[in-house]
Amino acid sequence: MTIDVFGTPVRFADPLVLALLLVVPALAYVGFARERRSGGALLFSSVMLIPGRRRAWRTRLRPALLVVRALALVLLVAALARPQVVRASEISAEGIDIAIVLDVSGSMTSGGFGRANITKLDGVKRVVHDFVGGLKNDRVGLVIFGSDALLLSPLTLDHKAVQELTEPLESGRLVGGATAIGTGLATGLNVLRDSTGKSKVAVLLTDGENNSGQITPGDAAKAARVLGVRVYTIGAILASERQRGAIPVNEAELRDMAESTGGHYFSASDETALRQIYEDIAQLERTRIGVRTEYAAYEDVMLPFLLGGALLLVLEVLFGLTLLRRTP
């Protein structure tokens, strides 16, 4: 059983002892009833005959002793339940080094990526933004390609910076409007060339066939194998394109690129599917290198509860025998 005390998680090693707290209200009720039934020091026919019959402040404060006693019992029961501060710690598995390679060619402006007014590029940017924001110990680099390829970010743990670089991307503005898949992947591999990570991954997304650049997709995939980089390829294919049989992506080529490096090929028809694909890729890689191991250390803090309860009992007895004494 764990509770939050002033922002610090506290658990009880023997939570069954806390059942004794159910007795506290009963004891408080019995004490209050006895206090009200207690006879006075003098017998008198009617207090109405006594002028200025207002209750003294001591009389009015005596019930406070019952409150103090109840609080003392609560603290003592809590001490018996062995409260412990939770000192949570974790050992994180080695992070993944990820090169995100995005096609920003002219065809990425096609609408209908989930909704009629959402272009492929807009949907991809949102998904990548959220994916990068969810990373913790993983380094990420960003490459865009069209007719040529451009490195926007080397491997970094500054995920917010990568997100900011993703937001203003526009089709064909920096790298031309054609599709150089091989060049794009090769540039992504350069990002990972000096990586010492246990897992090195390039995630390439495109919505077209390779029609530009001097490096073929096959040659880029061979280089990935040499460097020990797993390549995951994603074809952004609208549902309407698949229904018409006008698939703009060479899926066989993308599948060969991925599988030859130990990766997988995925097809995304909308933003929701693409989001799931990125999550699946991250999970696959984390499974390869091991999950995060968490443990928690516990520090006993019974003494403050015990001292607090004892102090309140001492105060109750002290005030009960002095300022708030009842006679007889």
Angle subtended by helix axes 302-321 and 57-80, to nearest 10: 160
Query: What is the rounded CA–CA span in Å between residue 286 and residue 279?
Result: 11
35: left (phi over 0), alpha (psi -120 to 50) or beta: alpha
> Measuring CA to CA, which residue among 147, 111, 105, 117 is closest to residue 241?
111
**84 membership: H or E segment, kind and range:** strand 83-91
Task: Supply the pTM of this predicted model.
Answer: 0.63
| pLDDT of amino acid 180 | 97
Record: fold of 96-289: Rossmann fold (3.40.50)
The domain limits of the chain are 2-88+296-321, 96-289
Query: What is the rounded CA–CA span in Å between residue 126 and residue 306?
Result: 54
Dmax (CA) for the chain in angstroms is 114
Query: What is the rounded CA–CA span in Å between residue 249 and residue 206?
Result: 8
pLDDT tens track, the chain, 328 positions: 666 665 677 888 888 888 888 888 888 777 777 766 655 555 555 555 555 555 555 666 666 777 888 888 888 998 898 888 877 655 555 679 999 999 999 999 988 898 768 899 999 999 999 999 999 889 999 999 999 999 999 999 999 999 999 999 998 788 999 999 999 999 999 999 988 888 899 999 999 999 999 999 999 999 999 999 999 999 999 988 999 988 999 999 999 999 999 999 999 999 999 999 999 999 888 877 664 555 667 788 888 888 988 898 888 888 777 766 665 5
Q: Is 8 helix (H, G, I), strand (E, B) or coil?
A: strand
Query: What is the rounded CA–CA span in Å between residue 166 and residue 124?
Result: 10
